[in-house]
Structure 1
Amino acid sequence: MDTSQNTALTRALTELPGPLPARGVIHVVIRHTDRFTVVGNDLAQHPGLSTTAVGFAVRIQSLPQGTEVGIKALAARFPEGEKLIAAALRELETHGYLQRARTRLPNGRIVTRTVFRNQPAALLRPRAAASPCQLPPTARPIATPVPVPEPMPQPEPTVEPEASPEPVPTPGPPTPQATAPGAATQPQDHAPATAPPFVRLVPPPTAPKPPRPPLPRPRELTPELERISTALLSDLRHHAPRFTLSEEHVRELVPGVAAWLERDAHPDTIRHTLTINAPEPVNYPYQFVKHRLTVLLPPPLPGAHDLTPPPARRNPVTPFQTCDGCERAFRAPTPGHCRDCRTEDEHRATAA
């Protein structure tokens, strides 16, 4: 049998205007009339987004308003896994196309609200009123002369004999003003619209970082603590060559090591904590040592009064006793008879 030929594609290629390129892609564009989504080239050709992120951005943009676009919802709708979807959403969130925020509903339930922007960069630009000269020729308004209706003739007022000697003037029709062709029809008492001030509509991609905590300091930097701290910091390069500190950095880090020594930390423990599990390479040893001295500072040792046992209970539990008459268990501080046996003894004594 002969190979089937796609005549429809051949006919479409022949109808393309201009010469076809010798290599590369050839676009056969058929205008959509329904079920289509407009995607900008800034998203389709974004240099910082992966193909997976661009694909999910197009899919999210094509979904109707109010559709769930969480990780699990997208994984149930599309064949990609949750890890791949989460990585793509993080890319879109980093570049400003996606924003996820947790909000509380009036009923107290917390939900995640997702906002997708097709042009995140356009929201950062101030919105200025476009002048007619900036609009394309097809969008410019065409000024046409507005016909002014002629005033209707009013009958002359007649004065009756009983009327007052001073006749009240009757307001006549407004005098029409000639409107020149192409003149603006907006009222003269209104000032021309001005561009609103710049308002940042998109929050920064990352929240402002809190200030770093200061380097810990001892209550009193004694000469002995300063000597041991300086020797420990200067000797770090013998145990880990990556932690070679300058003399100025050693002087700045001495109070942090002294705070550890003041809390009864052994020098070997401090050296091990500063150098264990360090990344490769340590580009900034001063910042790394300062961070660990600040974040991993041990608490002060408890005093003798902190380790005392808690006081005894003021209201001890009343123990169980066994009734001497009926052998029934009851609560009482001392042995004896239960309530029923005591009541029976009282009745017997009364009857006798």
Structure 2
Amino acid sequence: ALAARCREGEKRIAAALRELEAHGYLQRIRHRLTDKKVITRTIFCNQPTALPHPHHPAAQPHPRTAAPAHAAVRGPAPVAVATPVRVDVPVAVPAPVPVSASVPAAAPPAQEATPAPPAPGTTTAPPVPGTSPTPPASPPPPPPLFVPRVPPPTAPKPPRRPLPRPGELTPELDRAATAFLSDLHRHAPQFTLSEDDVRRLVPGVAAWLERAARPDGMRRALTDDPPHPLKHPAKLLTYRLTELLPPPPPGADDLAALARPRVTVTPFQTCDDCDRAFRSPAPGHCRECRETRAAHAQAAA
């Protein structure tokens, strides 16, 4: 039905539903009706913690006749609570043996009746002679149905970064930042600021100007592609002044390191006569071949 109404295919829609179910925004519960039919109920929720725990009708206890004490006992049904629940498991009780008044209350082990063998799947333990049966340990709490990966809306949020400030707010920087913010609505009408907003944003603009930012580049970085409709221009400017702060300009030492001459490496050349490798800025002959050629020229002269 969703594939008929949406442009996506069935596989992509099914993958998206599975992802929503894994994050806790969607829950699918199966219910068994009285006519032996099974239906699936889908629950959507914006807050994953508000989804109810799954309830399976098949796990509900049905009213039945009381079973004998030695009947097989199944494990406890899953409980959707966080606190541990104590479950008393019935233990096979030996048949009573008639004793006289002179015999002590605890009969010897040879006179005790043999208990019925436990059925498979039971958790009963053989009773120890002379002691009362110890109740089984409480089962551990059930694991959580899902672990929300998205924090709830009430989760504490990290503190926001403060508005950048210049090293020293000089009168020149204050006047330039005030003029920039006051003239911003002429280039971007959505960014009409009040006097209080201008005074609050002046240190952030002064920090940009101190880092050699040009007004045109600042205006493009702060006002391009705003959300529609723009309800709080001062908040958007505060965020962009903080997150898009340019790095400080390089100092004289950094520029001197860039202007430092590099070491020139002389390349290898191949001699035209002996094919030896030698370093030279231009191709030609190696030292030995040049000396040999000079000796031959002197002998010929």
The CA deviation at 1:122 is 10
Which of the residues 249, 253, 269 maps onto 1:320? 269
**Alpha-carbon RMSD:** 4.9
Tell me the TM-score normalised to structure 1 length.
0.46
Which of the residues 46, 68, 75 maps onto 1:144? 68
Q: Any gaps of 5 or more consecutive residues in structure 1?
A: 1-49, 56-79, 100-115, 152-169, 178-184, 342-352
Change (3 A) 1:126 1:175: farther
Change (3 A) 1:145 1:171: closer
Which of the residues 255, 259, 264 maps onto 1:309? 259
Written as runs of structure 1 = structure 2, the 5 A alignment for 1:1-352 is: 51-52=2-3, 85-86=11-12, 89-93=15-19, 96-98=20-22, 118-119=28-29, 135-137=61-63, 142-144=66-68, 146=70, 148=94, 172-174=110-112, 188-190=133-135, 193=138, 196=141, 199=144, 201-205=146-150, 212-307=160-255, 308-313=258-263, 316-317=265-266, 319-320=268-269, 322=271, 326=273, 328=275, 330-332=277-279, 335-337=286-288
Report the 3-state secondary structure (helix = DSSP H, G, I; strand = E; otherwise coil) of the residue aligned with 1:320: strand
> Which residue identity is paired with 2:176?
I
Report the 3-state secondary structure (helix = DSSP H, G, I; strand = E; otherwise coil) of the residue aligned with 2:110: coil
Q: Give the Cα separation in 1 of the matches to 2:16 and 2:28.
A: 16
Contact residue 94 and residue 113 of structure 2 kept, 8 A: no
Change (3 A) 1:81 1:267: closer
Tell me the TM-score normalised to structure 2 length.
0.52
Aligned length: 217
Q: Any gaps of 5 or more consecutive residues in structure 2?
A: 30-42, 71-92, 98-107, 116-122, 126-132, 293-301
> Which residue identity is paired with 1:231?
A
Contact residue 164 and residue 207 of structure 2 kept, 8 A: yes
The CA deviation at 1:298 is 2.4
Contact residue 2 and residue 13 of structure 2 kept, 8 A: no
Change (3 A) 1:54 1:136: farther
Change (3 A) 1:191 1:246: farther
Q: Give the Cα separation in 1 of the matches to 2:13 and 2:221.
A: 34
The CA deviation at 1:234 is 2.8
- In structure 2, the residue matched to 1:26 is none
Q: Give the Cα separation in 1 of the matches to 2:165 and 2:12.
A: 43
The CA deviation at 1:277 is 2.6
Q: Give the Cα separation in 2 of the matches to 1:254 and 1:127.
A: 55
Change (3 A) 1:191 1:172: closer
The CA deviation at 1:238 is 3.5
Alpha-carbon displacement from aligned partner over 1:138-162 (angstroms, at most 9, x marks no partner): xx573225595577xxxxxxxxxxx
> Which residue identity is paired with 1:284?
H
Contact residue 222 and residue 237 of structure 2 kept, 8 A: yes
- More RCO (CA 8 Å, sep 6+): 2
Alpha-carbon displacement from aligned partner over 1:123-172 (angstroms, at most 9, x marks no partner): 976799xxx9x6233xx573225595577xxxxxxxxxxxxxxxxxx753
Change (3 A) 1:282 1:304: same
